[in-house]
Amino acid sequence: MSKRPPKPMLGPFRVRSLRGRIQLWYAAVLAAVIIAFGSVLYFVHRSSRFHEIDNELSSAVEVLMGQLRAADRQTRDGLLHGAPTSEANTQRLRDAIAKLNADLRVPSTFAPRKIAHPYEAPYFAIWRFNGSPAALSTTAEIGELAPPTIDAQAIARRITYRNRGLFREAYGQGADDAIVLVGRYIGPDVRDIRNILLLICTTGVVVFAIGLIGGWLVSSHSIRPLLDIRRVAADIGERNLADRIKTERMDLELADLANILNDTFARLEAAFARQRQFTADASHELRTPLAVLQMHQQLALARERSPEEYREALETCQKATRQMRQLVDSMLTLARADDKTSPAGPQKFDLKALVEDCLAQTSLLLTSHEICVAANLGAVPLSGDRDQLGQVITNLLTNLTVHCPPQTMATITITCEEETAVLTIADDGPGIAATDLPQIFDRFYRVDQPRSRQSGSAGLGLSICRTIVEAHGGAITAESHVGAGTTFRVMLPAASDCHHDDATS
């Protein structure tokens, strides 16, 4: 099992945590919702309470204004314009004014409530047009009661409201420009509103705490699959590549991530498997020439031998050395191709010229094996490593001498199909069996074991071809039928538009 990475130490700053960020965002949203809901609830309750108070006060003002309007003219003038001074103001008028004063009382428009002190009772006041008091219903300590100012806006609203400490008052302009005011003590209402605010705040804090606990539990449950992913990823090692993340109970988003990681682990496992197989195959391939070297060296040293025998032993050792050198060179080529980098960088060149150079280099070898190659080449510009792609062409041409009998006819063609350069090498040789065809690009795989070993082939040629072609963004395929020949197709992205200049050789 692989060693787990050390946990980061907490310094002056806390380590960033996905769960912590989720919890912070959740807490912020929850706090905003609770504050908004509590604020709305508080202001609705406060507005509703003051609306009820104002309705009671305004109804009382309307009733008092109606009583003033209902009084006869002489009595109203005596009340609102001062005591009578002429002979017409008889004792009867004075009695009428006194009776009106007695009749003016706070109307019964207020909801029943317990009154513990005299100043808690509703009261009213009437001022004459000049600001002098005409009537006052209470002598309790309600503070300084000054006449309000009636402006154009107050006249337009008809009833106006004001706060005077813990007293709420409504006033309006009545008959003969008199100001009628009704008020009451709102201390209990203010306490009720504050109690409601305290209840809302307490409830909000409790809900916020419960929400945080619930959010922590939910976030912990939500990130549990991430912890499983971390555990599996941490346990993955060279000797433990078969473990996979279970996605049956994961949410879709995390399941997609887990599936991607599982695919990555599968590719990693396959890569390690190929590496182990490659190492085992390379060791096996090197074992034979090393055994030959050791055997002939031991035989040569076992007793005195003639110069011819020593020469024969050295030639055999040299042949084994060449075989090992070829194998090492092939493995180095594979390693460079797997690295997918070119020391010289990508180069622009003509595929036709490259094929002609490869044909010139292998012409003697092909002629010695009586292999006839016809070329039908079109000029196609490519971009890549010219030497590596030249090795692909050389390997495919050399395979003709290994797997085809004398008098075999082959054709090599270059065409362009939708901005893709296509190199085709076809022969009329013995072909490849259907059971072998899917494996011919595997490393160290040989179709004809004895013949391949006799020719010094390590079974890496086609594997090198595929690795180089794929490193250039292309693909290589093979089609074959026993007794009908084999066709290899190499497809590479062209550097620009294709221009065909067919030539036959």
Q: What is the CATH number of the domain that holds 149?
A: 3.30.450
Those residues whose C-beta lies under 8 Å from the C-beta of residue 252, and which sit 6 or more positions away, are none
Does one domain contain both 75 and 185? yes
Expressed as residue numbers, the domain containing 34 is 20-193
Q: Is residue 406 a contact partner of residue 457, using CB atoms and an 8 Å limit? A: no
Does one domain contain both 350 and 313? no
Q: Is residue 135 a contact partner of residue 104, using CB atoms and an 8 Å limit? A: yes
Does one domain contain both 324 and 351? no
SS3 111: coil
Asked whether residue 204 is domain-assigned, the answer is no
Q: What is the Cα 218 distance to its own chain's centre?
A: 20
Does one domain contain both 330 and 382? no
Does one domain contain both 370 and 333? no
Asked whether residue 292 is domain-assigned, the answer is yes
Confidence (pTM): 0.49
One-letter amino acid identity for 230? R
Does one domain contain both 322 and 334? yes
Last residue of a domain, one of 286, 317, 338: 338
Last residue of a domain, one of 309, 338, 367: 338
Where would I find the H helices in 340-454? Answer: 351-368, 386-403, 449-454
CA distances, 200 to each of 43, 47, 188, 203 (Å): 11, 16, 18, 5
pLDDT in tens, the chain (505 residues): 444 545 544 444 454 677 778 888 888 999 999 999 999 999 999 999 999 999 888 888 888 888 777 777 766 776 676 655 444 444 555 555 566 555 555 666 666 667 777 778 888 888 888 878 877 777 677 778 888 887 766 666 788 888 888 899 999 887 778 888 888 888 888 999 999 999 999 999 999 999 989 888 887 877 777 777 777 777 776 567 777 777 777 777 777 878 888 888 888 877 777 777 777 766 766 776 777 778 877 877 877 878 887 788 788 888 778 777 777 776 777 666 666 555 556 788 899 999 999 998 888 888 888 889 999 988 888 988 888 888 889 888 888 888 888 888 999 999 988 788 999 999 988 888 888 888 888 777 766 544 444 444 556 778 888 888 888 889 999 998 888 889 999 999 887 766 544 444 4
Those residues whose C-beta lies under 8 Å from the C-beta of residue 285, and which sit 6 or more positions away, are 327, 444, 458, 459
**Number of compact structural domains in the chain:** 3
Last residue of a domain, one of 313, 338, 363: 338
What tokens does 141 get?
Answer: 């300590």
CATH number of the domain where residue 442 is located: 3.30.565.10
Pairing label, strands 420-427, 408-416: antiparallel
Asked whether residue 458 is domain-assigned, the answer is yes
